[in-house]
Structure 1
Amino acid sequence: MLLQTFCHIPGVGEKIERRIWEEGITTWEEALGYPALEKIVPSKFSRSARSFLYRSLQKLEGGEARFFKEHLDTHDHWRLFPHFQNDTVFLDIETTGLNPPQDYVTAITIFDGKRIKTFIQGINLPEFKEEIMKYKVIVTFNGKCFDIPFLEQHLGIKFPHVHLDLRFILRSLGFRGGLKACEKAIGIDRGDLRGVNGYTAVLLWQKYREGCPEALETLLAYNVADTVNLEKLMVFAYNEKLRNYPFPQLSLSLPPKKIITPYQVHPEILKEINHEYWRTVSQKEVKV
């Protein structure tokens, strides 16, 4: 919906943007060809509006997502998604806990809509720094509060990307709860990973460190599921946001239902971990 966006122009808010649409002007090119554009835009900004639209076209053609990040309010960044879809990466991390530097990253998965890449502590984690800079837009769930700050502190890198955090985009649409709750609300089924959560991921890493390779594979399968499901949520959220605007023709097709992942879930490992967890809880209750 970026080409239909005018609220990034200095002096143009949502009300004026809707007035522009009501005049039958629905794209930047139409606006540039509209002789009375200056009468719609506040006089203080009217002279610069046209040149700003020319500049916007140039920035879009040059793939400069950061320009729009800087000139759009954060709650409107979702409008960029289709135009930078080929430069978008979905990201999720697993950690040993919530508090760096005591806790650390165990795995990172990124997914660009076609390829899945995983980065694992002690194996190839340093490669993430170079790989993530190939993209312009990052999509996460709660990444603004957790994933990105954790990575910045743990890996010592800064992220110049446009960051679309689905936690807040979905909340604006009335969805509450964590990632799994939002997935369930739109019909995503986790299959063998149903019921697995972030704490399970911590226990899987511990079991891997104790010498169980199947635990690592299950952890990575979980991390991949967290990541690839973000694409479905992003497309869903974009289409739902679009319902509030007069451009139904801009809706996106949902991605394929199933992505083939490179890792296998080992249900017996999950069962074993679950048994060990409840045994530990029971022992603590007895001591108390």
Structure 2
Amino acid sequence: MLKHTFCHIPGFGAGTERSLWQAGLHGWDDIFNQPNLPLSSKKEATLHSHIRESIAQLQAGNGDYFYGLLPSDQQWRLFPAFRDQVAYFDIETTGLGDPSDYITTIVLYDGRQVRSYVSGQNLGDFARDIADYRLLVSYNGKTFDAPFVRRCLGAPLDQPHIDLRYVLGSLGYRGGLKGCEQQLGIPRQGLEDIDGSFAILLWHDYQRGNAKALDTLLAYNALDVINLEILMVLAYNAKLAKTPLGLEHHLPLPTSPSLPFAADQDTIQRLRSQHGWSSY
């Protein structure tokens, strides 16, 4: 999609970009093959200059360049170009951000491997591992996850970051991560009754000695992260459908890996009973 993008060029808004598309100029290559562009000479010079720079920056793998120039509601366009360097991530915590709250678990998924991090075990490794990726994808991560990680682990998380809360919201899907999954038909694999508040109960149960509670928490955390890839592809295709570029640029849905952790239904049912937890 980046090679078909013009709205990152100074002075070229969405209207100008759409006019170029409608004139048959669907990508960067078309610009150099068209002798008479529907632009003033000054805008044409700006276009040529920035397209050459864009080609160089994309070849260099510099997502920061495009992230800084794209309007915030168009940053989803980064995804295909950096998909092989993306980290989907999600954290679980003991609360919503009080000074005493801390991260309990983190799961990171790059489309190939699921990695987990647990407080008191290997949580500090996340800061090192996440730095290897050039694009971050989360749900509500800009508001919740990233600030927590910066405060608790000192990781800058300064890579380009696509927050699906806003991308999906712009498409009419709201109600939190679980709500978006439900609206889009993405199954929760027996973890339908668990949310962030229940995740806190699982953590405390683990601290009391129930190892299966940690496995259940990690299963929940991992499922959230694995589903982010599906949501990202669905959102990307839905956004792309609003452009005149055609179905040939749509991405196929990914094949999700098996969950590397097994949720313990006995633990879930016991905690639900103890705390008066109702099904959704």
**TM-score range, shorter-chain basis?**
over 0.9
Determine if contact 1:101/1:153 at 8 Å carries over to the other structure: no
Corresponding residue of 1:285? none
Determine if contact 1:151/1:157 at 8 Å carries over to the other structure: yes
What is the aligned-residue identity percentage? 40
**SS of structure 1 residue aligned to 2:61:** coil
**SS of structure 2 residue aligned to 1:252:** coil
* Distance in 2, Cα, partners of 1:102 & 1:46: 56
Residue by residue over 1:149-205, the C-alpha shift from the partner in whole angstroms, topping out at 9 and shown as x without a partner, is: 111111122112111111110110011101111101111111221111101100000
Greater shift, 96-105 or 84-93, is seen at 96-105
1:70 aligns with 2:68: yes
* Distance in 1, Cα, partners of 2:276 & 2:79: 43
Residue type of the alignment partner of 2:206? Y
Corresponding residue of 2:249? 250
* Distance in 1, Cα, partners of 2:17 & 2:194: 44
Determine if contact 2:107/2:114 at 8 Å carries over to the other structure: yes
* Distance in 2, Cα, partners of 1:46 & 1:154: 48
**Post-superposition offset of 1:43:** 4.9
Corresponding residue of 1:175? 173
Residue type of the alignment partner of 2:29? E
Determine if contact 1:32/1:53 at 8 Å carries over to the other structure: no
* Distance in 2, Cα, partners of 1:134 & 1:32: 35
Determine if contact 2:9/2:69 at 8 Å carries over to the other structure: yes
Residue type of the alignment partner of 1:254? L
Determine if contact 1:224/1:261 at 8 Å carries over to the other structure: yes
**SS of structure 1 residue aligned to 2:79:** helix
**Post-superposition offset of 1:237:** 0.5
Q: CA RMSD in A?
A: 1.5
Residue type of the alignment partner of 1:144? K
* Distance in 1, Cα, partners of 2:43 & 2:15: 15
**SS of structure 2 residue aligned to 1:195:** coil
Corresponding residue of 2:57? 59
* Distance in 2, Cα, partners of 1:261 & 1:118: 12
Corresponding residue of 1:103? 101
Q: Quick check: which has more Rg, 1 or 2?
A: 1
Determine if contact 2:127/2:154 at 8 Å carries over to the other structure: no
**Post-superposition offset of 1:264:** 0.6
Residue type of the alignment partner of 1:123? Q
Structure 2 unaligned segments of length 5 or more: list them. Answer: none
Determine if contact 1:2/1:83 at 8 Å carries over to the other structure: yes
Determine if contact 2:2/2:77 at 8 Å carries over to the other structure: yes
TM-score (norm 1): 0.93
Determine if contact 2:87/2:133 at 8 Å carries over to the other structure: yes
* Distance in 2, Cα, partners of 1:165 & 1:6: 22
TM-score (norm 2): 0.95
Residue type of the alignment partner of 1:20? L
